[in-house]
């Protein structure tokens, strides 16, 4: 007998149906009990069989090198019910074992080709209608299923964000991509339930619902009792799930179509009617192992494996249909075999369809497509004067960065009706640094609101709201805090366009207070000087202003890029420059600036230039620009050395050709980077110069040390200083060889 479990499960179905040795019902429910018609039951069974044969075919094709994904849905086919019980307008965030659910959901669209579409995805064909051959995903724009890769609960926070957005759009009178009574479907596995990301989502949904905020989401935990090789203990999941505040818990037997349909009908009705979150615990089994490469015999006994295989949902469905006289055993077997032939025939055609073959083809969807939409008109002066109130009288006076950012946010919220600002302490308190001060009063709690102290739910909410047409401007309170949730940006937001060929996007502007130079305050958790986590994310724009006016104009450009180009923008605001007033001398007011006209912005990639020189150029950004401006004043006054300062402003994408042209012919280049020497922007800039310039200038770097930022006076000794920049400038230009420690 074969030891291939896929072959055995396949053979067992035929053998057990033929012999009539089918598993007994664990619920005793009939189709009539569940309100499931015979026709609907047959339709669901067909989707279950379809999913099973696609799993089997995927493994067969893998042995031929024609398929590249073998995590299947076998054992979870009961989720086909959810493809029927939820509407197409109920956005669905799916788990990677959602094959039958996805196939059944696709049947709601007349003329669709679910088998063909799935096979194109398995074969990584460029004609795959969602990812274009970039990954095997469940996703579809007509089905309202944003694509997911092999996610471990990372889709749950954005599902909560989408659920929160439905009522918010209605309250604000904004167009919604779903009806007012829509709900959200979000399924996942029992092992994923323990992941911090999942716990964050459950907590966020419960926290909001506990305060009577509508969160119409159905969490469906498909519990097969094992996470790869680690068993889920006893009643752990039920015990934990039942304890969640303001969330209805229900359970069903996912092997039994009647039980699953009955529970699905109840949970959908409850959530649609009450607008409250619910948790459906679906017990099932896992068949064929975790994936094709998984050898279950290493951690499960043959008895355990065979027991699960005897509980095959397809066998349970066959028993139900035969017992109730809907189908004969012969009809069940005919359906099973005809589906095998149908899938195999389609597979032979799918594997020869075109593949992605060039870097240009693969990268085509890294950056989302631009939208042919006009920007909203600028508000008139009267509206702005009413909005700014007492601040209006100060708008002709120079201000620091925090104030100009505040005014820029107010203008943005006034102009773009779909923008929302949220994060920790951003509402009544106005943020830790008062950057959002007064916005809550001006725009109300539906547009400016506090979040949980949970960066995962902040970014997840932003992604979900963006799915429903909002332009979120979430705030991460400190740069170091983003690491608690970086996968929401790395694994979810930044990949969405890529894995959907630009069909799905989640534009947003993520404001992050960060970088160092806070005069010893807070240590490394508040003085984090690393941007490396953002720099390797394809398609993400990174902004870092240095001057107050630049900050306001760049924030406008960031919002424009999100609004018209569907981009994700990370907007890093240097905390140490928020309140800075002086540049060279005390009380000189050299760093204060006037608020720029609302029509003005700074295009993405456009850098700032201060001074001119053919001797020395300094390339820098953020606090480095401030320090370099101080150093330039000293170099010219004391050493007669003129300096050209290039303030990058935009760290990604770098305008490489323009930067190279700006320093071409200059004898020396100094790169000043406040981030750590390893993994910092300075490495990319030096590489840029080496690769782009025909005649290489003398090049030197001034960076922070490869160390975390300590507390107190010791904080500054690791960072570039005015003195270190002066010394390095003299050294690289050979005006004077100076060895100097950072001060």
For position 666, which CATH number holds?
3.40.50.920
| pLDDT level of residue 3 (50, 70, 90 thresholds) | low
Shared domain for 75 and 191, answered yes or no, is: yes
pLDDT value of residue 280: 98
| pLDDT level of residue 220 (50, 70, 90 thresholds) | very high
Least confident of 33-47, 146-160, 605-619: 146-160
Residue 43 lies in a domain: yes
| pLDDT level of residue 714 (50, 70, 90 thresholds) | confident
Q: Does residue 205 contact residue 163 with C-beta atoms inside 8 Å?
A: yes
Shared domain for 147 and 192, answered yes or no, is: yes
| pLDDT level of residue 1 (50, 70, 90 thresholds) | very low
- pLDDT tens sequence across 548-592: 999 999 999 999 999 999 999 999 999 999 999 999 999 999 999
Average pLDDT over residues 623-643: 97
The two structure tokens encoding residue 173: 């009178």
State the average pLDDT for the chain.
Answer: 95
Shared domain for 163 and 60, answered yes or no, is: yes
Q: Which of 504, 736, 510, 495 is nearest to 634 (CA)?
A: 736
Q: Is the dihedral of CA 15, 20, 21, 27 positive or negative?
A: positive
The two structure tokens encoding residue 612: 């001119």
pLDDT at 742 over 90: no
- Ranges of beta strands (E only) in 470-578 are 471-476, 508-514, 541-543, 568-574
pLDDT value of residue 143: 97
Domain boundary residue, one of 299, 327, 352: 352
pLDDT value of residue 736: 54
For residue 712, the 8-state DSSP code is G
Least confident of 99-113, 136-150, 690-704: 136-150
pLDDT value of residue 522: 65
Shared domain for 308 and 177, answered yes or no, is: yes
User: 645: part of which helix (H) or strand (E)?
Assistant: strand 644-647
Residue 53 lies in a domain: yes
Average pLDDT over residues 80-98: 97
Domain boundary residue, one of 324, 352, 380: 352
Cβ partners under 8 Å of residue 327, min gap 6: 42, 45, 318, 321, 335
More confident residue, 70 or 406: 406
Shared domain for 538 and 627, answered yes or no, is: no
Q: Which CATH number does the domain housing residue 242 bear?
A: 3.40.50.970
pLDDT at 520 over 80: no
The two structure tokens encoding residue 731: 């050294």
Residue 192 lies in a domain: yes
Residue 189 lies in a domain: yes
User: 345 to each of 193, 339, 351, how far by Cα in Å?
Assistant: 38, 10, 11
pLDDT at 525 over 80: no
pLDDT value of residue 526: 83
Residue 389 lies in a domain: no
Shared domain for 324 and 199, answered yes or no, is: yes
More confident residue, 1 or 430: 430
Shared domain for 635 and 558, answered yes or no, is: no
Shared domain for 210 and 328, answered yes or no, is: yes
**Domains in the chain, number:** 3
pLDDT at 743 over 50: no
| pLDDT level of residue 68 (50, 70, 90 thresholds) | confident
Domain boundary residue, one of 530, 560, 577: 577
pLDDT value of residue 149: 74
pLDDT at 740 over 80: no
Shared domain for 491 and 637, answered yes or no, is: no
pLDDT value of residue 647: 98
Residue 667 lies in a domain: yes
The residue assigned the tokens 């950057």 is 435
Shared domain for 89 and 191, answered yes or no, is: yes
Q: Does residue 62 contact residue 292 with C-beta atoms inside 8 Å?
A: yes
pLDDT at 2 over 60: no
Shared domain for 717 and 658, answered yes or no, is: yes
pTM of the model: 0.95
pLDDT value of residue 741: 42
Domain ranges, residue 196 = 8-352
d(CA 98, CA 119): 15
Average pLDDT over residues 194-211: 96
pLDDT at 150 over 90: no
The two structure tokens encoding residue 705: 């040390």
pLDDT value of residue 295: 87
Residue 596 lies in a domain: no
The two structure tokens encoding residue 338: 């005809």
Shared domain for 516 and 633, answered yes or no, is: no
pLDDT value of residue 649: 98
Please tell me the chain's helix, strand, coil percentages from 3-state DSSP, rounded to the nearest 5: 45, 15, 40
User: 446 to each of 117, 128, 409, 426, how far by Cα in Å?
Assistant: 40, 39, 15, 13
Cβ partners under 8 Å of residue 272, min gap 6: 181, 183, 216
The two structure tokens encoding residue 725: 């920049």
Percent of residues, the chain, with pLDDT higher than 90: 91
Residue 673 lies in a domain: yes
């Amino acid at each position: 007998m074969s030891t291939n479990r896929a072959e055995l499960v396949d053979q067992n179905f035929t053998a057990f149906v033929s012999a009539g040795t089918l598993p007994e019902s664990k619920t005793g429910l009939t189709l009539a009990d569940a309100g499931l018609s015979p026709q609907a039951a047959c339709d669901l069974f067909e989707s279950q069989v379809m999913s099973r044969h696609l799993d089997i075919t995927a493994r067969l094709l893998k042995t031929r090198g024609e398929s590249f994904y073998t995590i299947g849905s076998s054992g979870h086919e009961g989720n086909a019910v959810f493809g029927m019980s939820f509407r197409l307008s109920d956005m669905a965030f799916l788990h990677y074992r959602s094959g039958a659910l996805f196939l059944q959901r696709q049947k709601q669209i007349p003329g669709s080709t679910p088998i063909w579409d799935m096979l194109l995805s398995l074969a990584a064909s460029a004609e795959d209608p969602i990812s274009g051959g970039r990954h095997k995903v469940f996703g579809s724009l007509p089905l309202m299923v944003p694509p997911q890769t092999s996610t471990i609960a990372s889709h749950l926070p954005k599902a909560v964000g989408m659920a929160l957005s439905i009522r918010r759009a209605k309250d604000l009178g904004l167009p919604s991509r779903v009806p007012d009574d829509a709900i959200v479907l979000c399924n996942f596995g029992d092992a994923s339930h323990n992941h911090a990301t999942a716990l964050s989502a459950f907590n966020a949904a419960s926290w909001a619902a506990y305060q009577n905020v509508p969160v119409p989401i159905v969490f469906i935990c498909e519990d097969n009792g094992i996470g790869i090789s680690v068993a889920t203990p006893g009643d752990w999941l039920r015990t934990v799930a039942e304890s969640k505040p303001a969330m209805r818990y229900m359970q069903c037997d996912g092997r039994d179509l009647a039980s699953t349909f009955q529970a699905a009908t109840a949970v959908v009705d409850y959530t649609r009617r009450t607008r409250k979150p619910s948790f459906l615990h679906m017990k099932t089994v896992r068949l064929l192992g975790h994936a094709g490469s998984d050898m279950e015999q290493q951690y499960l006994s043959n008895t355990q494996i065979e027991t699960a295989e005897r509980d095959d949902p397809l066998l349970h469905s066959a028993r139900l249909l035969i017992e109730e006289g809907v189908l004969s055993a012969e009809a069940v077997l005919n359906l099973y075999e005809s589906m095998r032939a149908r899938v195999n025939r389609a597979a032979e055609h799918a594997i020869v369809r075109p593949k992605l073959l060039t870097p240009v083809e693969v990268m085509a969807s890294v950056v989302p497509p631009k939208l042919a939409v006009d920007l909203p008109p600028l508000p008139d002066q009267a509206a702005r004067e009413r909005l700014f109130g007492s601040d209006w009288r100060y708008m002709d006076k120079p201000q620091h960065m925090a104030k100009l950012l505040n005014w820029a946010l107010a203008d943005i919220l006034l102009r773009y009706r779909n923008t929302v600002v949220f994060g920790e302490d951003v509402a009544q308190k106005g943020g830790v640094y008062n950057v959002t001060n007064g916005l809550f009063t001006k725009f109300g709690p539906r547009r400016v609101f506090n979040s949980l102290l949970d960066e995962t739910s902040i970014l997840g909410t932003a992604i979900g709201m963006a799915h429903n047409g909002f332009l979120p401007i979430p705030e991460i309170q400190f740069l170091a805090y983003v690491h608690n949730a970086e996968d929401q940006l790395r694994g979810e937001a930044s990949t969405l366009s890529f894995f959907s060929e630009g069909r799905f996007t989640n534009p947003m502007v993520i404001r992050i207070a960060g970088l160092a130079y806070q005069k010893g305050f807070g240590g490394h958790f508040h003085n984090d000087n690393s941007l490396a986590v953002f720099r390797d994310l394809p398609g993400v724009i990174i902004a870092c202003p240095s001057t107050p006016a630049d900050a306001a104009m760049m924030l406008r450009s960031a919002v424009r890029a999100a609004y018209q180009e569907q981009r994700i923008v990370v907007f890093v605001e240097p905390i140490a420059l928020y309140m800075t007033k002086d540049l060279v001398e005390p009380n000189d007011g050299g760093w204060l600036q006037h608020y720029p006209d609302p029509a003005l912005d700074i295009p993405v990639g456009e850098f700032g230039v201060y001074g001119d020189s053919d001797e020395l150029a300094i390339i820098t950004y953020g606090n480095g620009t401030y320090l370099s401006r101080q150093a330039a004043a000293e170099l010219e006054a004391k050493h007669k050395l003129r300096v050209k300062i290039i303030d990058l402003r935009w760290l990604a994408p770098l305008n490489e050709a323009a930067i190279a042209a700006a320093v071409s012919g200059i004898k020396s280049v100094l790169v000043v980077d406040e981030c750590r020497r390893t993994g910092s922007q300075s490495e990319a800039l030096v590489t840029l110069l080496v690769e782009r310039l025909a005649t290489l200038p003398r090049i030197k770097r001034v960076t922070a040390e490869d160390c975390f930022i300590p507390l107190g006076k010791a904080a500054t000794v690791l960072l570039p200083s005015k003195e270190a920049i002066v010394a390095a400038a003299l050294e690289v230009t050979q005006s004077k060889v100076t060895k100097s420690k950072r001060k």
